[in-house]
């Protein structure tokens, strides 16, 4: 990847960008709700990649969070490249960045599957897990070596917003970036749901999820289906990386680990293997973090999120929308 400029500071992942206005205590709810939905949309897109891979391969791709990080870096590189050649029209630049970053990040996802998973598919269950953790460490160090350990900035690309429900001069500010993130998340969720439910690829994925051996006997190309699943998950992760870049304005090599843990938690909370569950889990994690940060202490927002996860799993071991596994005999 290209070398990028340096930056000294970045906001904490999960904390919204600073604003100029400080609302009164009774005006915290609506801004926290907007920020939680925005953050949860990013978590949800990453969580879909986890749940798609688990549904077919039966393994957690712990390198997926770092694929998200690679997608964020690639988005920044493409933005800088477009600016250098004079493409400054924001809608056109965003579309180009979106498609190029998705294509390049999908290539990384395909590589992860070929290198870390396919050679070990017939091995014992822990082998692909260890390989995925090794791939995660490799991608972190790869980004650190090629881009440096400091934070990389991006000037605001999408500015402006709308103010609703103003009371005593205060209301909820919804930025254009937040609107884009939510709308894009809904559109992608609908598109991928239709792909899984109504296309030949989706039928092949569902067949592999039920029984890979029987699917192969019926003519399904299992290797191709699994590779395309990794590609689709990586493409969604790149969109989440672009959203993160637009929302926070900075990236670094370590955001993949933090986002990966949160997204994995969201996938488990919603029900691992369920696409709607992954999105619902992402939204819940985002809302829990932002509301806890708004009303209590931001330092303990992660404790709150994982505590809710533990409580849910005690009463619903398969998650909110997950299905209990049935042992095949």
Q: What does the pLDDT look like over 251-306, one tens digit per residue? A: 999 899 888 888 988 988 888 878 888 899 999 999 999 999 888 888 888 888 88
Query: Considering the entire predicted model, what is its pTM?
Result: 0.86
pLDDT at 328: 53
Domain 30-160+173-315 fold is ABC transporter involved in vitamin B12 uptake, BtuC (1.10.3470)
Tokens for 34? 């907007």
| Residue 64, Ramachandran bin (φ over 0: left; ψ between -120 and 50: alpha; else beta) | alpha
Q: Is 38 exposed, middle or buried (0-12, 13-18, 19+ CB in 10 A)?
A: buried
Q: What does the pLDDT look like over 138-174, one tens digit per residue? A: 999 999 999 988 889 888 888 888 777 665 556 678 8
- Residues recorded for the chain: 329
Distance in angstroms (rounded) separating the CA atoms of residues 223 and 242: 29
Q: What does the pLDDT look like over 73-118, one tens digit per residue? A: 999 999 999 999 988 888 899 999 999 999 999 999 999 999 888 8
Distance in angstroms (rounded) separating the CA atoms of residues 154 and 269: 33
pLDDT at 16: 55
């Amino acid at each position: 990847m290209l070398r990028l400029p340096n930056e000294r500071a970045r906001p904490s992942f999960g904390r919204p960008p600073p604003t100029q206005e400080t609302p009164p205590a009774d005006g915290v709810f609506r801004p926290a709700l907007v920020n939680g939905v925005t953050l949860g949309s990013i978590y949800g897109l990453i969580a879909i990649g986890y749940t798609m891979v688990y549904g077919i391969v039966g393994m957690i791709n712990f390198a997926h969070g770092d694929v998200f990080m690679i997608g964020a870096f690639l988005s920044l590189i493409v933005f800088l490249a477009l600016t250098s050649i004079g493409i400054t029209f924001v809608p056109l630049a965003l579309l180009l960045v979106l498609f190029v970053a998705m294509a390049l990040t999908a290539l990384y996802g395909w590589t992860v599957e070929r290198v870390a998973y396919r050679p070990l598919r017939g091995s014992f269950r822990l082998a692909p897990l260890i390989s995925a953790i090794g791939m995660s460490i490799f991608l972190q160090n790869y980004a650190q070596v090629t881009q440096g350990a400091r934070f990389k900035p991006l000037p605001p690309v999408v500015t402006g917003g709308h103010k609703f429900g103003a009371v005593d001069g205060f209301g909820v500010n919804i930025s254009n970036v937040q609107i884009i993130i939510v709308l894009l998340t809904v559109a992608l969720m609908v598109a991928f749901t239709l792909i899984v439910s109504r296309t030949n690829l989706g039928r092949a994925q569902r067949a592999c999820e039920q029984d890979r051996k029987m699917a192969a006997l019926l003519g399904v190309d299992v290797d191709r289906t699994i590779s395309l699943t990794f590609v689709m998950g990586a493409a969604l992760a790149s969109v989440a990386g672009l959203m993160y870049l637009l929302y926070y304005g900075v990236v670094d090599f370590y955001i993949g680990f933090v986002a990966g843990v949160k997204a994995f938690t969201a996938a488990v909370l919603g029900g691992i293997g369920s696409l709607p569950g992954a999105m619902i889990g992402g939204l819940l994690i985002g809302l829990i973090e932002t509301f806890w940060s708004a009303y209590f202490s931001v330092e303990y927002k992660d404790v709150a999120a994982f505590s809710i996860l533990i409580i849910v799993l005690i009463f619903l071991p398969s998650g909110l929308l997950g299905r209990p596994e049935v042992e095949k005999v």
